[in-house]
Amino acid sequence: MDAYSLLELNSMVRQSIEHTMNQEYWVEAELSECRENRGHCFMELIQKEEHSNTPIARASAKCWQSTWGMIGPYFERTTGQPLHTGLKVRLQVYPQFHEAYGFSWIITDIDPTFTLGDMARRRQEIIRQLKEEGIFDLQKDLTLPLFCLNIAVISSQSAAGYGDFVNQLADSPYDFHTQLFPAIMQGEQVEESIIQALNAIYNSCANQQTSAFDCVVIIRGGGATADLSGFDALQLAENVAQYPLPIITGIGHDRDESILDMVSNTRVKTPTAAAQLLISHLDSTALRIDTCGERINTFFSLLKTREEARIDKLSSYLSPLIFHLLEREQHKLEMLEQRAKALDPALLLKRGYSITLHNGHLLRNAAEVKPGTELETRLEQGTIISIVK
């Protein structure tokens, strides 16, 4: 039986493809892998069943340096992110079969509007699901504490934006305390990394009797402005929306809000703006305290004035009353004095009366004494001692 060598058979495949598929095609697929090497881009394309994640088609694709140098930056500028795993793309390709390296699609162009449309559809689907779950606006019901000083920060430690954030708080007149919970803020691991940081903050608070932090700040400044798809992820949005502490996002981009921005308590554009927000919040608290202090001082000043007037008014009523009472009591004392003088025994003695005493006590009844009892009789002038017979 005659047999072909592998090279001969592969050559036949190559020639067949070159003759029967000698044009370019637009293909829609999902990226299961995407990597650059020496200026070229190598991709793995996949197609899944419509209602499951079961792959039903796979293929390798390559974009050579001469083409990738143009369409890669173009895609990134248009969509705001680079090509990465999970994106759905529309590529213009032609087939290529090499006897030694096998089959692959060679990419000549890319349609970023298709990816934008798919991204928008996925964003709207996530937003719809969050609203159906009733959690889309939960963070908006939280408020920053009046004295918001203890800040949990989720960021890359090496990010310039993190340094700007910390330095600006340090330069403020307030005693802020920050603690970094490091996370990957760019690439495919953004979602998982930020969720892990949120869990670490939650556990830190749970291990203490009172919350260790007043709010959480998620900042990203200092990196590339592209590759923000990780902030449009459902699981991350669900975690942030239901988080018990207010979350401030300062991811550092000017395009449309990410879903993370939408479900957070407050969204600002940059880490510096996040720091300024916290400083302004304490400025407002300080102003509120000063205003309350002024109101309290004003209130007590008015109260003092009112009470002093009330006391003056009472005094005007009480002085005549007290004077009248004193006059009346003085008159009563004078009357009592007159009565006391009228009852003075010395006056009776002057009138010729006498007072007889027995053993120092006033004698009123003669039957009270027996013969031989000694009595003392007091007259106006002198005293008589007598013996009863």
Q: What are 83-120's pLDDT values in tens digits?
A: 888 889 999 999 999 999 999 999 999 999 998 888 88
Q: Are residues 239 and 353 both part of a single domain?
A: no
CB 148 within 8 A of CB 281: yes
- Show contacts of 209-213: CB within 8 Å, 24+ apart: 211/245, 212/150, 212/152, 213/150, 213/151, 213/152, 213/179, 213/245
Is 124 part of a structural domain of the chain?
no
Q: Are residues 173 and 241 both part of a single domain?
A: yes
3-state SS assignment for residue 343: coil
Structural domain total, the chain: 3
**How far apart are the C-alpha atoms of 230 and 53, rounded to whole Å?**
20
* Confidence at 378, pLDDT banded by 50, 70, 90: confident
Model pTM greater than 0.75? no
- Closest listed residue to residue 112, CA positions, set 97, 84, 91, 143: 91
Share of the chain above pLDDT 90, in %: 52
Q: Which domain holds residue 103?
A: 6-115
Is 377 part of a structural domain of the chain?
yes
Mean pLDDT of 15-24: 92
The pLDDT of residue 358 = 79
- The more confident residue out of 333 and 279 is 279
The CATH number for 111's domain is 2.40.50.140
In 88-229 the beta strands, taken as DSSP E runs, fall at 88-98, 102-110, 150-155, 177-182, 215-219
Q: Are residues 215 and 157 both part of a single domain?
A: yes
Mean pLDDT of 300-320: 82
Q: Are residues 166 and 225 both part of a single domain?
A: yes
Is 22 part of a structural domain of the chain?
yes
Query: Among 260, 284, 308, which residue terminates a domain?
Result: 284
Q: Are residues 138 and 210 both part of a single domain?
A: yes
Query: Among 57, 86, 115, which residue terminates a domain?
Result: 115
- Closest listed residue to residue 97, CA positions, set 9, 181, 193: 9
Is 209 part of a structural domain of the chain?
yes
Residue 382 C-alpha from the chain's centroid: 104
Q: Are residues 32 and 164 both part of a single domain?
A: no
Mean pLDDT of 258-264: 93
The pLDDT of residue 374 = 83
Is 108 part of a structural domain of the chain?
yes
Q: Which residues of 4-42 are buried (b: 16+ CB within 10 A; e: fewer)?
A: eeeeeebeeebeeeeeeeeebeebebbbeebeeeeeebe
Residue 347 C-alpha from the chain's centroid: 96
Q: Are residues 148 and 246 both part of a single domain?
A: yes
* Confidence at 338, pLDDT banded by 50, 70, 90: confident
Is 259 part of a structural domain of the chain?
yes
3-state SS assignment for residue 154: strand
Is 341 part of a structural domain of the chain?
no
Q: Are residues 152 and 278 both part of a single domain?
A: yes
Q: Are residues 243 and 362 both part of a single domain?
A: no
Q: Are residues 138 and 235 both part of a single domain?
A: yes
DSSP structural state of residue 351: T
